[in-house]
Structure 1
Amino acid sequence: MTYVIAQPCVDLKDQACVDECPVDCIYEGPRKMYIQPDECVDCGACEPVCPVEAIFYEDAVPAEWSAYATADREVFVSLSASGGASGAGPLGADHPVIQEEPVKETS
């Protein structure tokens, strides 16, 4: 099991979760942050600092956002293990689930 970053993070990417993650498993995509499930140690440090409450334990992702658990897993399938997000740099593309989301207006 792992934590998942769901729809409220799309087009926000606050990154408070990145600062709290002790294992550097939160990667930045063009529109959303992603948790690398093989690197996540299920500590939960990221969840309470998310300002939009977008982070859920995999079993607790709301049904309307269940595709985000799949997205967080699948976005890493074609990437080799990097040994942490800080050394990997931003991901080149978002998962199709995120690409299909309407762009949120930010102020």
Structure 2
Amino acid sequence: MPHVVTENCVSCRFTDCVTVCPVACFHGDGDRLYIDPEACIDCGACIPICPVHAIKEDFDLDEDEADWAAVNAEKAAELPVIRAKQAPLPTAESRRGELGFQ
């Protein structure tokens, strides 16, 4: 079961997760990250390092998050791989606070 980046990543794009990924399965755009389900080996290393708890195993998605699996697959196929840590978005810290993860 691949892992999925959920809505919590929107307006954050913390990239701590890419530093622990052994297969470079993360892709990104100007607002968030996505996981390529074909490349993900389900190691789970990314889950505890995400500061906004945006990554879940696909079978742990809540009903209202289920669509994120398809979004990750679609977007990962068209976006570049993110292989190194980057600066989070300027809105990341405020979004983190909104999500209750200060």
Inter-partner Cα distance in structure 1 for 2:76 and 2:43 = 20
- Alpha carbons of structure 1 residues 69 and 86: separation in structure 2 relative to 1, 3 Å: closer
Which residue of 1 is the match for residue 24 of structure 2? 24
Counting helix residues as a fraction of each chain, which structure ranks higher?
2
Q: What is the deviation of 1:32?
A: 1.0
Amino acid at match of 1:38: E
* CA deviation map 1:71-104 (0-9, x unaligned): 0112245x4xx8xx247xxxxxxxxxxxxxxxxx
Q: Work out the CA distance in 1 between the residues paired with 2:30 and 2:68.
A: 15
Aligned partner of 1:40: which letter?
C
Higher RCO (CA < 8 A, seq sep 6+) = 2
| Fraction of identical pairs, as percent | 34
Question: Where does the alignment leave 5 or more consecutive residues of structure 2 unmatched?
Answer: 84-89, 95-102
Q: How is 1:1-107 mapped onto 2 (pairs within 5 angstroms)?
A: 1-77=1-77, 79=78, 85-86=81-82, 106=91, 107=94
Q: What residue identity is the alignment partner of 2:20?
A: E
Residue of structure 1 equivalent to 2:87: none
Give the structure-1-normalised TM-score: 0.71
Residue 63 and residue 36 in structure 1: after superposition, are their counterparts in 2 closer, same or farther (change >3 A)? same
Paired amino acid for 2:58: E
C-alpha RMSD of matched pairs (Å): 2.2
Runs ≥4 residues deviating over 2 A: none
Unaligned runs of at least 5 residues, structure 1: 88-104
